Amino acid sequence: MKTAIVLLSGGMDSCVTVALVREAGYDVAALHVNYGQRTQQRELQAFTDICDHYAIRKRLICDISHLAAIGGSSLTDTTIVVSKANLTSKEIPSSYVPFRNANILAIATSWAEVCGAQAIAIGAVEEDSSGYPDCRDVFFRAFEHVIATGTKPETTIRILTPVIHLSKADIVREGIRLNAPLHHTWSCYQGEGLACGECDSCALRLRGFYEAGTTDPIPYAIRP
């Protein structure tokens, strides 16, 4: 059976990515990183709950807290305010963690090369998102070329991005179609008990559920 390493943050997009990759016939190995983000504990809980739901045995949890030491993001530096959502802005928001996805993909590639996985899957969303540069298709295609040049000649690893061109509403619909455990997922950038309802990530998620004609099962402090 072919194996895919799924980057499983514990958010809705990565959870639906697990569901889609399983549907495509892959055995899933799950990678999670703690990078000193504000909601680290809550995300790790979501990761564990989703892995348990799908009985995923191959799990790797990595600590890359140097991203917090490097800083430059409101997600890892508590002196930078997490902006309230502005879904019409074209600016890259303060929540951008510089080059985070490359750091995580590099770990995933090391793991994939050693365990013989054929693919790495990531739940990045390009259009209906915050505009992070490392969530774009052009970045993932460039990273595939880095994998091809930086691993053994016999190693072949594809990067799967099954939700990259979906809207958040489409992702909700796919999650429901595949009976994904969306109630276990966590997307909020700043709350760990109740989702704040005000950050970019909450706003995108809530709009997705609204446009899909359904209700988000997780608890919010504020529902706009």
Interacting residues with its own copies (CB under 8 A):
60, 62-64, 66-67, 69-72, 92, 96-103, 105-107, 109-111, 113-114, 133-134, 136, 138-139, 142-143, 145-153
Rounded to a whole number of angstroms, the minimum distance from the CB of residue 70 to its own copies is 5
Rounded to a whole number of angstroms, the minimum distance from the CB of residue 19 to its own copies is 26
Are 186 and 39 in contact by the 8 Å Cβ rule? The answer is yes
HEC sequence for the chain = CCEEEEECCCCHHHHHHHHHHHHCCCEEEEEEEECCCCCHHHHHHHHHHHHHHHCCCCEEEEECCHHHHHCCCCCCCCCCCCCECCCCCCCCCCCCCCCHHHHHHHHHHHHHHHHCCCEEEECCCCCCCCCCHHHCHHHHHHHHHHHHHHCCCCCCCEEECCCCCCCHHHHHHHHHHCCCCHHHCCCCCCCCCCECCCEHHHHHHHHHHHHCCCCCCCCECCCC
CA distance 55 to 106: 25
Nearest Cα neighbor of 221 from 186, 183, 194 is 194
Rounded to a whole number of angstroms, the minimum distance from the CB of residue 153 to its own copies is 7
Rounded to a whole number of angstroms, the minimum distance from the CB of residue 206 to its own copies is 27
Of the pair 106, 176, the CB lying nearest its own copies is at: 106
Rounded to a whole number of angstroms, the minimum distance from the CB of residue 139 to its own copies is 4
Rounded to a whole number of angstroms, the minimum distance from the CB of residue 199 to its own copies is 20
Of the pair 23, 63, the CB lying nearest its own copies is at: 63
